[in-house]
Amino acid sequence: MSRQLLSRALVSINWLSQALETSKPGPSLRVLDASFYYPPIRDGRKEYDEKHIPGALYFDIDECKDHASPYEVMLPSESFFANYVGNLGINNETHVVIYDADQVGVYYSARAWWMFRAFGHYKVSVLDGGFRNWVKQGLPVTSEVVKPKPETFRAVLNPALVKSFEDIQRNLKAKEFQLVDSRPAGRYNGVEPEPGEVILPGHIPGSSNIPFTSFLTEEGFEKSPDEMKQLFKDKGIDLTKPLTITCRRGVTACQLVLASFILGKEDTSVYDGSWFEWFHRSKPEDRVSA
């Protein structure tokens, strides 16, 4: 697989470095730093202010959400998203490249990538290897923050890419789609605590478990398509059939959506409320734990 334009959803560090050498970030190409951490052991915005890819703007996952929802980072409204990304100088023709600074390589950037796709923007890619490997390769960084000229962005939610609590509840019996949980095995099995300890661990009945880090190399890059395909196959997941991914809050689930997209499956959906919502709304008998 080429280490340049790896897929429509994945670009290499070399590709982005060369793209930034030939043209400055603007309405045709925007780079976003989507670093965020929960629990807040690190401050993504502070780290961005101190050091980021030249021309990159900060995409705040905790700001670009439904603030009226009691469930962690639920999708905002179409109008909120359109206004938020428009103020980042993004229009419907902009190629958006997203990265984050997490040590695993790709974490919240996959969530931001999925958000753009959910709102109908398909010219969006994740930087393979993330900021960790950008720095490792000795590429330039800066503390300079660029103020973009606002653009007009039209957001139209694609409901096929988002599952609700009611959808998951109905699927317990209907079995309309496969459900995969991307959290670490200990939390899925209910033997390790959830971050923040505000909810107990466990999983939705009928869901399989493929931890999101399984799709990443130790160096922080996406594994090869053949390796990704085998990960799904080993869990009995048929990529020709409907698939929904869940996690704690709809973030690491997007890593599996990204993986399935790279494998040619573009209709994988996310249960946006994920385990956090399920824990609070479901009946006790609909939660599996150790």
Q: How far apart are CA 168 and CA 173, in angstroms?
A: 9
Q: How many CB atoms lie under 10 A from the CB of residue 142?
A: 13
Which residue is catalytic, options 247, 254, 259, 270? 247
Q: How far apart are CA 86 and CA 98, in angstroms?
A: 16
Q: How far apart are CA 236 and CA 130, in angstroms?
A: 30
Q: How many CB atoms lie under 10 A from the CB of residue 179?
A: 24
Q: How far apart are CA 245 and CA 283, in angstroms?
A: 20
Q: Two tokens at 67?
A: 């603030």
The torsion angle over the Cα atoms of residues 235, 237, 238 and 239, rounded to 10 degrees, is: -120
* 3-class SS of residue 164: coil
Cβ burial, residue 87 (10 Å; 0-12/13-18/19+) = middle
Query: In degrees rounded to 5, what are phi and psi of residue 243?
Result: -140, 135
Query: In degrees rounded to 5, what are phi and psi of residue 201?
Result: -80, 175
Q: Is 64 considered catalytic here? A: no
Residue type present at position 170: R
Cβ burial, residue 260 (10 Å; 0-12/13-18/19+) = buried
Q: Which residues are catalytic?
A: 247
